[in-house]
Amino acid sequence: MKKYILSLIVVVALSSCLRLDDNLYNASKLTEYKLDNYTGEVDFTLDYSYHIPDSLVHVFTLSSQGADESSATTIYAIYIGDIAQIATDTVIMYCHGNKDHMDFYWQRAKLLANTKSKNRFGVLMIDYRGYGMSEGKPTENGLYADTDAALKWLQSKGLTNNRLVIYGFSMGSAPATKLSANNYTLKPSKLMLEAPFASAEVMVQDGSGLALPGTTVTDLQINNGEEIKGVQQPFSWIHGEADDFLNIDTHGAVVYNNYQGTYKESHRIPNAGHSTIPTTMGFQAYLNAVGNFITNH
Amino acid sequence: MLKKIALFICCISIFSCAPSHFIKPLEKKQHVANVSLGGPLIKFGTATIPIPFITATYGYGIDSTFTGFASVNITSALYGNLQMELGATKQLLKQKGYFPALSFNPVINFIYHDSKSYKLYPQLDINAFWEYGKRKNFVYVGVDNWFELSQKKAYDLKQQNHWFVSPMIGHSFVGKKWNFNIEAKVIAPNLSNEKLVVDYQTPFRNKGAFGIYLGYTRKF
């Protein structure tokens, strides 16, 4: 009997330091970016009318270093547009989701580059550390540091706060909201969130059905539901009513309702799932919603 | 949003993470240790697997109709939580022919991570069992009832579900020094499993979850 109890104590004592956070990130690696030639899974593929000339597609690296880091991490970025025009253009900083890398999200970024008209707005997208060809290991602070590194690059090209729009999809809603609410290199003039999540605790509670504290399984501090209270800029929220991953009511609506800034608008899309808002709405309707928010508010 | 996060969230489905404990009371002054493995079925990649919850239990026969027990959830301990169950089994009726014996289990479940993260869940199981054969193997059916006492959840949203009912069926193979147990449980069939990050696999389409559990009991 004693050896059973002793074994149990040893197992518990030795193993009580694990967390589930390491399982959070889907950081899949690439050896090159193929963009239009990418043949892996994507949410949708645009036809040629949305094509962007090669001369306006720039793949490059950035150096990202958080305030608490002793060395920099090299991450990859794609800018869609004329870099020389950043000093006068409006730019959409697109923070992609967790499912994959920039090849996967290329169609979404390219779609945004067609907002209002082709290349009316510049679009910048990065692969967070650990994703695609970016070096390093994904972390929550890394999301913020990497997005801020992108803002530094935009600032170096002449972008100012009033011409920066930040757009976060799914997990990308975390850096988009964080950098809108707090003082980083640039302060976006507008915030757009597509299918945002409220917090890890809501994920825990949705998954279990219980009012269980999120910290019982995760140290993840992302809390868009609270962070949004610090956002004063105009805010647009878009969410699929049939989202079976991040529930529109427990995630997106919480973020939307907690916003206390100057202007907000919501787009609840009937029959749209987590990844199908552009296709369910239709690409032009989606682009009109994005473009009208950017130009009218 | 993500693929792996489904696994991440699955690991917090703490209710019904263990099979029913002592359906039939132990003999008076009998000590046993039990290890069980299993949980709700989920889709993981292309495969359907039970969430691998591991629970260790100690039981003691206070008298021939009343058994006390304590369990530790090993899987939850891997994540720094002390998750325990303290409970008892009381036999109410003896088996008479085809009429089964009846027992019930009042249980207190608690999970503690730190001074800001802890919860307590009462549970009441009601069981019927039929012994048969020389070794007194037994078949059982029952209902687990978990209760969520909190009225609010994150962001002060209303906690909608307070009663998690889980019908189950199982069989115990009885040996001289050991028991082997297999159990299937329909978890919360009254609740929708749609619009969740967890991809529960169940024969009941968009309702609840379906769990499979194996248990080994050593008698002392």
Determine which of B11, B12, B54 to mutate to test the interface with A (most A C-beta atoms within 10 Å).
Answer: B12
A193: tokens are 């969130």
What pLDDT, on the 0 to 100 scale, is given for residue B16?
57
The one-character DSSP state at B25 is: P
What tens-digit pLDDT sequence spans chain A (297 residues)?
444 444 444 444 333 344 445 557 777 889 999 999 999 999 999 999 999 999 999 999 999 999 889 999 999 999 999 999 999 999 999 999 999 999 999 999 999 999 999 999 999 999 999 999 999 999 999 999 999 999 999 999 999 999 999 999 999 999 999 999 999 999 999 999 999 999 988 988 887 788 888 877 777 889 999 999 999 999 999 999 999 889 999 999 999 999 999 999 999 999 999 999 999 999 999 999 999 999 999
| Bigger pLDDT: A116 vs B40 | A116
Whether the predicted pLDDT of B190 surpasses 70: yes
Contact status, residue B190 vs residue A209, Cβ threshold 8 Å: no
Q: How many other β-carbons are positioned within 10 Å of the β-carbon of residue A7?
A: 12
Among A97, A199, A210, whose Cβ lies nearest the Cβ of B15? A210
Average of per-residue pLDDT across B52-72: 93
Q: State how far the alpha carbon of B37 is from the alpha carbons of A150, A200, B11, B57, in Å.
A: 47, 27, 14, 12
Task: Please give, rounded to a whole number of angstroms, the shortest distance from the CA of B109 to a CA of chain A.
Answer: 13
In angstroms, the CA A7 to CA A42 distance is 48
- Residues B5, A23: C-beta atoms closer than 8 Å: yes
Per CB-CB distance under 8 Å, the chain B contacts of A268 are: none
- Residues B13, A218: C-beta atoms closer than 8 Å: no
Question: Can you say how many angstroms the Cα of residue A188 is from the centroid of all Cα atoms in its chain?
Answer: 14
Tell me which amino acid residue A36 is: D
C-alpha torsion sign, points A136, A141, A146, A149: negative
* Whether B3 contacts chain A with CB within 8 A: yes
Q: Which of B108, B165, B111 lies closest to B142 in space, CA to CA?
A: B165
- Of the listed ranges A57-61, B1-5, B31-35, the least confidently predicted one is B1-5
State which residue of chain A sits closest to B209, comparing Cα positions: A208
Whole-structure pTM value: 0.84
A59: tokens are 């793949």
pLDDT digits (tens, 9 = 90+) for A255-280: 999 999 999 999 999 999 999 999 99
Q: Which of A225, A217, A207, A205 lies closest to B152 in space, CA to CA?
A: A205
Per CB-CB distance under 8 Å, the chain B contacts of A17 are: 80
Per CB-CB distance under 8 Å, the chain A contacts of B8 are: 20, 23-24, 217-218
Helical spans, DSSP H, in chain B:
4-10, 74-77
In angstroms, the CA A39 to CA B182 distance is 46
* Pairing mode, strands A235-240 and A190-194: parallel
Residue ranges of domains in chain A: 2-296
What pLDDT, on the 0 to 100 scale, is given for residue B95?
95
| Burial class, B113, CB count within 10 angstroms (exposed 0-12 / middle 13-18 / buried 19+) | buried
* Whether A100 contacts chain B with CB within 8 A: no
Quickly list DSSP for B178-220: EEEEEEEEEEEEEEE--SSSS-B--TTTTEEEEEEEEEEEEE-
Per CB-CB distance under 8 Å, the chain A contacts of B76 are: 216
| Burial class, A241, CB count within 10 angstroms (exposed 0-12 / middle 13-18 / buried 19+) | middle
Instruction: Name the one residue in this structure whose structure tokens are 């580059």.
Output: A113
Residue B2's pLDDT band (boundaries 50, 70, 90)? very low
State which residue of chain B sits closest to A219, comparing Cα positions: B79
- Residues A209, B5: C-beta atoms closer than 8 Å: no
In angstroms, the CA B90 to CA A164 distance is 67
* Whether B11 contacts chain A with CB within 8 A: yes
- Of the listed ranges A31-40, B74-83, B160-169, the least confidently predicted one is B74-83
Contacts of B44 (CB under 8 A, 6+ apart): B6, B7
State which residue of chain A sits closest to B111, comparing Cα positions: A216
| Burial class, A13, CB count within 10 angstroms (exposed 0-12 / middle 13-18 / buried 19+) | exposed
The one-character DSSP state at B116 is: T
* Whether B53 contacts chain A with CB within 8 A: no
* Whether A271 contacts chain B with CB within 8 A: no
ipTM passes above 0.85: no
Average of per-residue pLDDT across B20-42: 88
* Whether A218 contacts chain B with CB within 8 A: yes
Size of interface A-B (CB pairs under 8 A): 154
What pLDDT, on the 0 to 100 scale, is given for residue A121?
97
**Could you say which architecture CATH assigns to the domain A2-296?**
3-Layer(aba) Sandwich (3.40)
What pLDDT, on the 0 to 100 scale, is given for residue B145?
93
Q: How many other β-carbons are positioned within 10 Å of the β-carbon of residue A192?
A: 29
Q: State how far the alpha carbon of A59 is from the alpha carbons of A113, A149, B184, in Å.
A: 15, 15, 54
Task: Please give, rounded to a whole number of angstroms, the shortest distance from the CA of A114 to a CA of chain B.
Answer: 23
* Whether A12 contacts chain B with CB within 8 A: yes
Quickly list DSSP for A78-132: EEES-GGGTTTS-EEEEE--SSS-HHHHHHHHHHHTTSSSTTSSEEEEEPPTTSB
State which residue of chain B sits closest to A226, comparing Cα positions: B155
What pLDDT, on the 0 to 100 scale, is given for residue A12?
40
